[in-house]
């Protein structure tokens, strides 16, 4: 009798996991250090190519913020064999789409193309890695474009500076102090040599992961990758990795920002461990409890019951080094942000004091399972996940097994991380208030 | 043996790789076949049309219900239809919002509602629970007062915060200008309208329009046709059908001339530019695919606008255009956010590209690039089974040819440069556009005047017209005081009452033609105006009761607002007896007219018709009359400016009148005014 119980439990586990379709992949290193991951899925005749470089804003000199992101723009200017501005054109001419993004920790480029254009994708990415064009014309154009990007997404937007202010306040030593968009002035000051130096340091095969998913043939794709990437020499410089540890916060910091807004907002940011740690998964389960869906605790309390907020939520910002757990609320018209903060604190205290119910526990497990499966609906998403699992954890098979890490989190873990990390002394709090309310 | 061949092959390939030709892009392999997945369809007894796309890649299912009703005019309740959609998932006969939220989240599902759709999705294993919830909100929705109040507060908060969102502001002005009053797309929520909405309004909308016989349900995911049939019947089979009202609307037209409209945001560091106009285009238009390819070349991705405004000039982070087909009315709009200093240069480039695509034939390579891009996007969209479902629903909903989507790419690839130019000439109208700018007026206004022969129009955050020159009204001044000062300034009430009849003769020159006009007025309220141009004559007559407008184009008997307006003009003493005539006068502000401060008075006729007079602050004289004319081309403002006041029999009359409408100015000069010559009543018949 006793022996049967574990079998039963095992069966339940298998049932849960069996839901997620397995993503099969092949991975290997080229002699120059480029890591390659391939996933074949022939259901639609398209192919997604992701190449991610292990360089983000945290690698920047504090006197050159915005550099990694600016570089992402420069990489669309062309190469020795690709004329200025032709990357967009080549990809669209091939019926494809492209984009790129820069975060604190990485810079990612992707191309999504009909599958008969795989070789074009490899040619473009290998050109960028081998000999991108870094000249003054390109630098000048992208300086203007990046400034407009900053104006459009930050300076001309209500609450646009929020993310930037939170990180600037929370991090005093660590380079998460500034966000990837950076400042105008540094990009203006930088010389062409500095851009070339940055390229030689970070845009090297051993600092990149190439991940391809879609309608491919593995052997043929390997041969093509060999053709375009194997001649690229490995980088000869050391790749600097910041080893700065943000000192442990011992005292709450509170600040107020006056912005071009109508409704006040409040943001709390708590220091948390890096992505991939056990606590990180528990914090992810916690955020699901607090703010995923309309029955979540924050939504229910602030929006449905007390009706003091227009929007509320929590986000564990997933970062390579220890990051932040952000809780926020945008006040409803005529409501004070202090009311929202009080209810957020009340809800956090509740998780710290009481274990969550079985029913809520089942709910958040179901929600996490669902979103884990949904991430596998598109080849582009799959190629990006594969690249990141390798880049950050050197463990590509997490694409199939990471769900276990969430499912292993217990109710006690959730209470524990709430107690350990969501403490007032471990946070900064920002109030965003309308400029019109500022007293001179 | 086999091994050796392999080794040999490897060697050959390696040698080949040693000399990679990087100088040119590699040639693509043979084009893959783009296959649209199959779908099945069936109809329930209550008329609900169901489409099923099976795709078992992931263990998930999704249900999308589309209610295909005509948009309604919401008028002073703008927002009630949207609120109905929002309220759908906040209560049913047997569930509270809290219960619905809990049950949806418990299965890790999603359930979203709007006024025209209900969407849900979950893992396959939770499908029955999901459908139980979805059909409950569709069939048994119940509207509760507390939820109505909550939704109202949320919408009001959203409206307040949208005052700082340049895109939302631009969108409101765009709707108002493109579609005009009386069109549902011109309507949007305001504080006043949202406050008026009642629970009953929402209930009534739900009960009238949520019917299976006008709806489509698409089922997508890890589900067989058989399972889908059973599920649809079980969860939607009991939904009762019913008659649903139809509504039709006039097709909005592009403006006759390009107009510039500005919304001032004094702290803006960028201008949001929107240039465009309504167009008549829907998915069932025969050239809808031509139009899409044309718009792609212009700005449907990183094409001409992006290349020019971003990559060549660095004005913006992105510049695009949209040509949106719609059954009611489509629109064309090009847009970008640019820094203040380059606003006018950016508008110039937009207009340049809009003109260029109409005049220069598109090059072969560029055309091919657009075709390839659309073909590739089509292939990429096939990855999502939702795409196939939306194709199936669109085909039924818009009555498209059965092969519309299967032939789509064939059609795209058959288009020529002439087809593109024709489409551009039909759908892109740079000379009949609205140029909407949300930005810092002080920095941009003087530089963008040149884009239109019309005066720049100013709007507030909610698309209400505002006057940028408006100044505060001094204390103690009212409509009554302004009007009485005017009467004094032209000679006083007594002298005015002594005028029994008046004949005014005027002349003008319009585009080389001599125009003469004679205006006869007789107390108490008879009027005749005769305008002659090159042998043609237009006569406007008011006999004290009835008004008529005769011209070579025909005879129009005036009624309603137009008749009231004429009666007001016929009565030389009208301004002295507004109360008696039931006309309301309000002082709305002080504005500058040619460097003179003027009080603006709004007159409201008993029928609700409105017009404005401007009286000079200093002298009291009338400087301007302003009316809004409604025509099928949109609404226009007609202004008449008065100057050169001269004395006749102790009374002052303006000898120069300048009338302007849609940028045309007609200058009339008075040659003669005769008072009390004994005009006979028979003249006014």
Query: What pLDDT digit, counting tens, does each position of A187-245 carry?
Result: 888 899 999 999 999 999 999 999 999 999 999 999 999 999 999 999 999 999 999 99
- Residue A294 pLDDT greater than 90, yes or no: yes
Cα(A15)–Cα(B102) distance, rounded to whole angstroms?
23
- Residue B6 pLDDT greater than 60, yes or no: no
Torsion of CA B582, B583, B586, B588, to 10 degrees: 150
Confidence bin at A13 (pLDDT 50/70/90): very low
Query: Please, is B577 exposed, middle or buried when counting C-beta atoms within 10 Å of its C-beta (0-12, 13-18, 19+)?
Result: exposed
**Interface contact A152, partner B, CB < 8 A:** yes
**Interface contact A145, partner B, CB < 8 A:** yes
Domains and CATH numbers, chain A: 25-229 (3.30.830.10), 253-437 (3.30.830.10)
Distance from the Cα of residue B50 to its chain's centroid: 33
Interface subset of B 302-321, CB within 8 angstroms of A:
302-303, 306-307, 310-317
Contacts of B26 in chain A (CB under 8 A): 119-120, 122-123
In this prediction, residue A439 carries a pLDDT of 63
Average pLDDT across chain A, whole number: 92
DSSP result, B12-41:
HHHHHHHT---SSPPPP-SPPP--PPP-EE
CB nearest B104 (choices: A117, A149, A293): A293
- Residue B472 pLDDT greater than 80, yes or no: no
| Mutation target vs B (from A333, A339, A434; most B CBs, 10 A cutoff) | A333
- Contact, A33 vs A364, CB < 8 A? no
Contacts of B342 in chain A (CB under 8 A): none
- Residues across chain A: 440
Q: In angstroms, what CA-CA distances link A51 with A11, A204, A311, A377, A388?
A: 39, 12, 35, 20, 10
**Interface contact A24, partner B, CB < 8 A:** no
Q: DSSP class of residue A247?
A: P
Contacts of B160 in chain A (CB under 8 A): 262-263, 333
Tens digit of each residue's pLDDT (9 = 90 or more) over A26-35: 999 999 999 9
Residue of A nearest to B385 (CA): A377
Task: Give the closest-approach CA distance of A245 to chain B in angstroms.
Answer: 35
Q: In angstroms, what CA-CA distances link B498 with A45, A224, B494, B655, B670?
A: 90, 100, 7, 21, 22
Angle of CA points A97, A99, A100, to nearest 5°: 160
Cα(A354)–Cα(A341) distance, rounded to whole angstroms?
20
Interface subset of A 238-297, CB within 8 angstroms of B:
260-263, 292-296
Report CA torsion sign: B301, B303, B308, B313. Answer: positive
Torsion of CA A345, A348, A352, A353, to 10 degrees: 70
Tell me which of A319-328, A365-374, B114-123, B555-564 is least confident. B555-564
In this prediction, residue A20 carries a pLDDT of 65
| Mutation target vs B (from A122, A147, A370; most B CBs, 10 A cutoff) | A370
Bridge partners, residue B636, by sequence:
B629
Residue for token digits 């997508």?
A: B220
**How crowded is residue B129: how many other Cβ atoms within 10 Å of its Cβ?**
15
Contacts of B165 in chain A (CB under 8 A): 157-158
- Contact, A100 vs A88, CB < 8 A? no
Tens digit of each residue's pLDDT (9 = 90 or more) over B506-551: 988 877 778 888 999 998 899 998 888 877 888 889 998 889 888 8
Average pLDDT across chain B, whole number: 90
In this prediction, residue B653 carries a pLDDT of 93
Tens digit of each residue's pLDDT (9 = 90 or more) over A317-375: 989 999 999 999 999 999 999 999 999 999 999 999 999 999 999 999 999 999 999 88
Average pLDDT over residues A75-102: 92
Tens digit of each residue's pLDDT (9 = 90 or more) over A141-195: 888 888 888 888 888 788 889 999 999 999 999 999 999 998 878 888 889 999 9
Interface subset of A 218-237, CB within 8 angstroms of B:
223, 226-228, 230-231
**How crowded is residue A47: how many other Cβ atoms within 10 Å of its Cβ?**
27
- Kindly report the CATH number that applies to the domain delimited by B479-684: 2.50.20.10
Residue of A nearest to B268 (CA): A156
Strand order in the sheet with B110-113: B40-43, B49-54, B215-221, B60-67, B117-123, B110-113
CB nearest B22 (choices: A45, A81, A153): A81
Question: Both tokens of residue B634?
Answer: 């949109």
B479-684 and B40-165+183-236 share a CATH fold = no
Torsion of CA B439, B445, B451, B455, to 10 degrees: 110
Q: Where are the domains of chain B?
A: 40-165+183-236, 259-466, 479-684
Contacts of A223 in chain B (CB under 8 A): 13
Where would I find the beta strands (DSSP E) of A253-322?
253-259, 265-272, 309-316
Average pLDDT over residues B304-329: 93
- Contact, A432 vs A267, CB < 8 A? yes
Task: Give the closest-approach CA distance of A137 to chain B in angstroms.
Answer: 10
Average pLDDT over residues B169-195: 95
| Mutation target vs B (from A366, A371, A375; most B CBs, 10 A cutoff) | A366
Q: How many helices (H) and strands (E) does chain B have?
A: 21, 26
Contacts of B126 in chain A (CB under 8 A): 366
Q: Do B316 and A156 touch (CB under 8 A)?
A: no
Cα(B463)–Cα(B173) distance, rounded to whole angstroms?
5
In this prediction, residue B594 carries a pLDDT of 76
Secondary structure string (H, E, C) spanning A77-115? CCECCCCCCHHHHHHHHCCCEEEEEECCCCEEEEEEEEH
Tens digit of each residue's pLDDT (9 = 90 or more) over B252-294: 999 999 999 999 987 788 999 999 999 999 999 999 999 999 9
- The count of CB pairs under 8 A between chains A and B is 232
Tens digit of each residue's pLDDT (9 = 90 or more) over B361-417: 999 999 999 999 999 999 999 999 899 999 999 999 999 998 999 999 999 999 999
Query: Please, is B559 exposed, middle or buried when counting C-beta atoms within 10 Å of its C-beta (0-12, 13-18, 19+)?
Result: exposed
- Residue A275 pLDDT greater than 50, yes or no: yes
Residue of A nearest to B302 (CA): A88
Average pLDDT over residues B160-177: 92
Residue for token digits 């909405």?
A: B197
**Interface contact B160, partner A, CB < 8 A:** yes
In this prediction, residue B562 carries a pLDDT of 80
Report CA torsion sign: B455, B460, B465, B470. Answer: negative
If one compares B554 and A73, the residue with the highest pLDDT of the two is A73
- Residue A276 pLDDT greater than 80, yes or no: yes
- Residue A108 pLDDT greater than 50, yes or no: yes
**Interface contact B163, partner A, CB < 8 A:** yes
- Residue B162 pLDDT greater than 80, yes or no: yes
Q: Do A333 and B160 touch (CB under 8 A)?
A: yes
**Interface contact B13, partner A, CB < 8 A:** yes
3-state secondary structure of B623: strand
Cα(A358)–Cα(B280) distance, rounded to whole angstroms?
57
Cα(B613)–Cα(B626) distance, rounded to whole angstroms?
6
- Residue A17 pLDDT greater than 80, yes or no: no
- Contact, B641 vs B432, CB < 8 A? no
Q: DSSP class of residue B525?
A: T
Cis peptide before B217 (omega within 30 of 0): no
Residue B604 makes CB contacts below 8 A (sequence gap 6+) with B583, B584, B585, B586, B610
Secondary structure string (H, E, C) spanning B96-120? EHHHHHHHHHHCCCEEEECCCEEEE
Bridge partners, residue B551, by sequence:
B554
- Residue B662 pLDDT greater than 90, yes or no: no
If one compares A10 and A431, the residue with the highest pLDDT of the two is A431
Tell me which of A67-81, B163-177, B192-206, B627-641 is least confident. B627-641
CB nearest A377 (choices: B34, B58, B104): B58
3-state secondary structure of B481: helix
- Contact, A41 vs A24, CB < 8 A? no
CB nearest B25 (choices: A120, A141, A307): A120
- Give the ranges where A83-191 is alpha helix by DSSP (H): 86-93, 118-131, 136-150, 162-170, 184-189
Confidence bin at B111 (pLDDT 50/70/90): very high
**Range of B63-77, B474-488, B654-668 with top mean pLDDT:** B63-77
Percent of chain A with pLDDT over 70: 95
**Interface contact B373, partner A, CB < 8 A:** yes
Superfamily of domain B259-466: Metalloenzyme, LuxS/M16 peptidase-like (3.30.830.10)
In this prediction, residue A435 carries a pLDDT of 84
- Contact, B478 vs B578, CB < 8 A? no
Confidence bin at B477 (pLDDT 50/70/90): confident
Tens digit of each residue's pLDDT (9 = 90 or more) over B81-100: 999 999 999 999 999 999 99
Contacts of A157 in chain B (CB under 8 A): 165
**Interface contact B6, partner A, CB < 8 A:** no
Q: In angstroms, what CA-CA distances link A64 with A180, A410, A416?
A: 11, 43, 39
**Interface contact B31, partner A, CB < 8 A:** yes
Residue of B nearest to A311 (CA): B154
Question: Both tokens of residue B279?
Answer: 């167009």
Q: Do B20 and A94 touch (CB under 8 A)?
A: no
Tell me which of A146-160, A167-181, A392-406, B6-20 is least confident. B6-20
In this prediction, residue B663 carries a pLDDT of 63
Tell me which of A122-126, A429-433, B69-73, B158-162 is least confident. B158-162
In this prediction, residue A117 carries a pLDDT of 96
Tens digit of each residue's pLDDT (9 = 90 or more) over B205-228: 999 999 999 999 999 999 999 999
Cα(B453)–Cα(B451) distance, rounded to whole angstroms?
7
Cα(B563)–Cα(B567) distance, rounded to whole angstroms?
6
**Interface contact A165, partner B, CB < 8 A:** no
In this prediction, residue B18 carries a pLDDT of 52
- CATH label, B40-165+183-236, candidates 3.30.70.141, 3.30.830.10, 3.90.70.10, 3.40.50.1980: 3.30.830.10
In this prediction, residue A188 carries a pLDDT of 85
Tell me which of B29-33, B36-40, B128-132, B662-666 is least confident. B662-666
- Residue B14 pLDDT greater than 60, yes or no: no
The helix (H) or strand (E) run that includes residue A24 is none
- Residue A5 pLDDT greater than 60, yes or no: no
- Contact, B502 vs B520, CB < 8 A? yes
Average pLDDT over residues B152-164: 91
Q: 3-state SS of chain B: helix, strand, coil percent to 5?
A: 40, 30, 30
């Amino acid at each position: 009798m006793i022996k049967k119980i574990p079998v039963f439990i095992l069966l339940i586990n298998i049932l849960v996991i069996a839901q997620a379709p397995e993503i099969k992949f092949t991975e290997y290193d080229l002699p120059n250090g480029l890591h390659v991951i391939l996933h074949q899925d022939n259901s639609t005749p398209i192919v997604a190519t992701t190449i991610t470089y292990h360089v983000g804003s945290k690698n920047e000199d504090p006197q050159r913020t915005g550099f990694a992101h600016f570089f992402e723009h420069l990489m669309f200017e062309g190469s020795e064999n690709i004329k200025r501005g032709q990357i967009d054109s080549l990809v669209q001419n091939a019926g494809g789409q492209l984009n790129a993004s820069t975060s604190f920790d990485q810079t990612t480029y992707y191309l999504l193309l009909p599958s008969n254009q795989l070789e074009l994708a490899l040619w473009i990415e290998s050109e960028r890695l081998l000999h991108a064009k870094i000249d003054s014309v390109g630098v000048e154009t992208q300086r203007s474009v990046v400034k407009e990007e900053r104006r459009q997404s930050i300076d001309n937007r209500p609450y646009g500076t929020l993310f930037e202010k939170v990180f600037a306040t929370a991090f005093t030593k660590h380079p998460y102090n500034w966000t990837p968009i950076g400042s105008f002035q540094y990009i203006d000051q930088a010389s062409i040599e500095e851009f070339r130096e940055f390229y030689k340091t970070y845009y090297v095969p051993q600092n990149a992961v190439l991940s391809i998913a879609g309608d491919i043939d593995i052997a043929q794709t390997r041969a093509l990758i060999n053709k375009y990437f194997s001649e690229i020499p490995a980088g000869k410089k050391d790749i600097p990795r910041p080893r700065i540890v943000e000192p442990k916060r011992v005292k709450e910091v509170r600040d107020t920002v006056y912005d071009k807004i109508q409704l006040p907002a409040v943001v709390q940011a708590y220091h948390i461990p890096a992505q991939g740690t056990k606590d990180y998964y528990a914090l992810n389960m916690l955020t699901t409890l607090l703010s995923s869906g309309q029955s979540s605790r924050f939504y229910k309390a602030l929006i449905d019951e007390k009706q003091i907020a227009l929007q509320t939520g929590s986000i564990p910002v997933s970062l390579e080094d220890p990051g932040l757990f952000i809780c926020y609320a945008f006040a409803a018209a005529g409501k004070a942000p202090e009311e929202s903060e009080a209810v957020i604190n009340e809800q956090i205290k509740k998780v710290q004091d009481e274990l969550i119910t079985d029913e809520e526990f089942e709910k958040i497990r179901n929600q996490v399972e669902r979103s884990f499966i949904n991430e596998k609906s598109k080849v582009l998403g799959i190629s990006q996940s594969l690249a990141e699992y390798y880049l950050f954890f050197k463990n590509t098979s997490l694409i199939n097994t990471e769900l276990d890490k969430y499912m292993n989190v217990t109710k006690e873990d959730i209470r524990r991380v709430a107690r350990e990390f969501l403490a007032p002394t471990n946070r900064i709090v920002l109030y965003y208030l309308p400029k019109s309310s500022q007293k001179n | 043996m086999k091994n050796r061949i392999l080794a040999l092959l490897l060697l050959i390939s390696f040698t080949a790789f040693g000399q990679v030709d990087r100088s040119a892009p590699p040639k693509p392999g043979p084009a893959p076949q783009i296959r649209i997945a199959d779908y099945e369809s069936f109809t329930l007894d209550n008329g609900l049309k169901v489409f099923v796309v099976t795709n078992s890649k992931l263990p998930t299912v999704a249900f999308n219900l589309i209610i295909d009703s005509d948009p309604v005019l919401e008028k002073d309740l703008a927002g009630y239809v949207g609120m109905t959609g929002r309220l759908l998932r906040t209560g049913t006969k047997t569930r509270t919002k809290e219960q619905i939220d809990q049950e949806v989240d418990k299965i890790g599902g999603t359930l979203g509602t709007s006024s025209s759709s209900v969407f849900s999705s979950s893992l396959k294993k939770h499908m029955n629970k999901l459908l139980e919830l979805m059909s409950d909100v569709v069939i048994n929705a119940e509207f509760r007062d507390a939820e109505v109040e909550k939704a109202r507060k949320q919408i009001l908060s959203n409206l307040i915060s949208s005052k700082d969102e340049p895109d939302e502001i631009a969108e409101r002005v765009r709707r108002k200008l493109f579609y005009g009053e009386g069109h549902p797309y011109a309507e949007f929520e305001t504080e006043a309208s949202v406050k008026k909405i009642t629970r009953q309004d929402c209930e009534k909308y739900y009960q009238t329009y949520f019917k299976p016989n006008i709806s489509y349900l698409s089922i997508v995911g890890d589900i067989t046709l058989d399972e889908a049939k059973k599920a649809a019947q079980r969860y939607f089979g009991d939904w009762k059908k019913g008659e649903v009202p139809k509504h039709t609307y006039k097709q909005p037209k592009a403006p006759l001339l390009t107009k510039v409209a500005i919304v001032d945001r004094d702290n803006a560091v960028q201008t949001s530019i929107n240039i465009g106009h309504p167009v008549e285009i829907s998915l069932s238009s025969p050239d809808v695919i031509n139009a899409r390819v044309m718009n792609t070349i212009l700005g449907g991705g990183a094409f001409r606008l992006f290349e020019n405004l971003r990559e060549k000039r660095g004005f913006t982070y992105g510049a695009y255009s949209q040509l949106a087909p719609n059954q009611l009315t489509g629109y064309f709009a090009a847009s970008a956010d640019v820094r203040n200093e380059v606003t006018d240069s950016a508008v110039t480039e937009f207009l340049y590209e809009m003109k260029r695509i109409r005049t220069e034939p598109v090059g072969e390579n560029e055309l091919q690039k657009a075709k390839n891009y659309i073909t590739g996007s089509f292939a990429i969209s096939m990855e999502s089974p939702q795409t196939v479902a939306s194709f199936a629903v669109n085909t039924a909903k818009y009555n498209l040819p059965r092969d519309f989507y299967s032939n789509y790419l064939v059609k795209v690839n058959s288009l020529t440069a002439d087809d593109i130019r024709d489409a551009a000439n039909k759908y892109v109208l740079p000379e009949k556009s609205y140029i909407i700018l949300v930005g810092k007026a002080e920095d941009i206004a003087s530089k963008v005047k040149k884009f239109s022969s019309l005066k720049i129009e100013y709007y507030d955050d909610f698309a209400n017209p505002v006057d940028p020159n408006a100044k505060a009204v001094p204390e103690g001044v009212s409509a009554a005081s302004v009007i009485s000062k005017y009467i004094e300034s032209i000679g006083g009430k007594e002298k005015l009452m002594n005028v029994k009849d008046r004949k005014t003769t005027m002349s003008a020159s319009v585009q080389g033609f001599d125009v003469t006009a004679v205006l006869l007025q007789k107390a108490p309220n008879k009027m005749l105006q005769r305008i002659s141009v090159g042998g043609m004559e237009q006569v406007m007559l008011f006999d004290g009761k009835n008004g008529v407008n005769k011209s070579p184009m025909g005879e129009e008997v005036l009624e309603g607002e137009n008749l009231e307006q004429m009666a007001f003009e016929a009565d030389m003493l009208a301004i002295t007896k507004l109360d008696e005539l039931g006309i309301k006068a309000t002082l709305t502000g002080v504005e500058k007219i040619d460097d003179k401060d003027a009080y603006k008075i709004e007159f409201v006729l008993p029928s609700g018709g409105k017009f404005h007079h401007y009286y000079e602050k200093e002298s009291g004289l009338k400087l301007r009359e302003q009316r809004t004319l409604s025509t099928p081309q949109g609404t226009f403002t007609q202004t008449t400016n008065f100057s050169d006041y001269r004395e006749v029999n102790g009374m002052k009359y303006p000898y120069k009148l300048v009338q302007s409408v849609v940028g045309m100015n007609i200058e009339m000069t008075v040659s003669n005014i005769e008072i009390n010559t004994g005009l006979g009543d028979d003249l006014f018949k």
